Chains A and B, each alone.
Chain A
């Protein structure tokens, strides 16, 4: 009965590889997000999808590509991984339609690039 889930929880990979992180929410929300939390704990929005449509696309390298196959899923694919991509990536969801505000976060995926 987990509300927002992510896989994998940990990801260790070498520079230059391509990897994906998956996110699923069972809250029936219409909007999903990807955040990056760096080693200093700064939380920064990367992308947001509303009903499978990209609505927020912050200044993120083109190596990062989100994909939303349906309202309940938002995946993040990263090409040509770099050392600076090491961080914790959080997925979140909220119900924007109807005036909802609260964003529910997933457990995070700790990505380590060596």
Chain B
């Protein structure tokens, strides 16, 4: 089955700096890669996602890059703000045609702390 590794487990940055979180996946059939943000005591919420036919996607201060050959993808947050502090999860999923039952396999999470 799919295995998703995520690094680092904790990340501390100064406000205004950039933050980068990296993930690798094992299943070459995975073709959908979302990133979820989970604030303390809250539910995980999708912040950005990328499909395997795209190498990069951007949404304001957040961007995701995907390298299918190397099987890794990264989340980039620029101009970090205190409200970016949360746990971030990457995930990977196969397409329905290739089986997998729409199963999302999550990484182990990164605790991001943005300091003033």
Shortest B98–chain A CB gap in Å is 13
Cβ-defined contact, B102 with A94, below 8 A: yes
Q: Does B63 contact A (CB under 8 A)?
A: no
Q: Does B20 contact A (CB under 8 A)?
A: no
Shortest B102–chain A CB gap in Å is 5
A41 to B17, CA, bound (A): 25
Q: Which residues from chain A contact B106 at a C-beta distance below 8 Å?
A: 42-44
Per-position contact with B for A11-47: 1 when CB-CB < 8 Å, else 0? 0000000000000000000010000000011111100
Per-position contact with A for B81-107: 1 when CB-CB < 8 Å, else 0? 000000101000100100001111110
Cβ-defined contact, B102 with A105, below 8 A: no
Shortest A72–chain B CB gap in Å is 17
Q: Does B43 contact A (CB under 8 A)?
A: yes
Q: Which residues from chain A contact B44 at a C-beta distance below 8 Å?
A: 43, 90, 105
Cβ-defined contact, B104 with A45, below 8 A: yes
Per-position contact with B for A90-107: 1 when CB-CB < 8 Å, else 0? 100010100101111111
Kindly identify which residue among A56, A105, A107 contacts B103, using a CB–CB cutoff of 8 Å. A56
Kindly identify which residue among B46, B89, B102, B109 contacts A31, using a CB–CB cutoff of 8 Å. B102
Cβ-defined contact, A103 with B46, below 8 A: yes
A25 to B96, CA, bound (A): 22
Cβ-defined contact, B43 with A101, below 8 A: no
User: Which residues of A (78-98) have their CB < 8 Å from a CB of B?
Assistant: 90, 94, 96
Q: Which residues from chain A contact B89 at a C-beta distance below 8 Å?
A: 43
Shortest B90–chain A CB gap in Å is 11
Q: Which residues from chain B contact A106 at a C-beta distance below 8 Å?
A: 43
Chain A interface residues toward B at CB < 8 A: 31, 40-45, 48, 50, 55-56, 90, 94, 96, 99, 101-108
Sample of 19 more A-B contacts, CB < 8 Å, known A42-B106, A45-B104: A40-B108, A41-B38, A41-B87, A42-B108, A43-B109, A45-B105, A48-B101, A48-B102, A50-B101, A90-B43, A94-B102, A101-B93, A102-B34, A102-B46, A102-B49, A103-B34, A103-B46, A104-B46, A106-B43
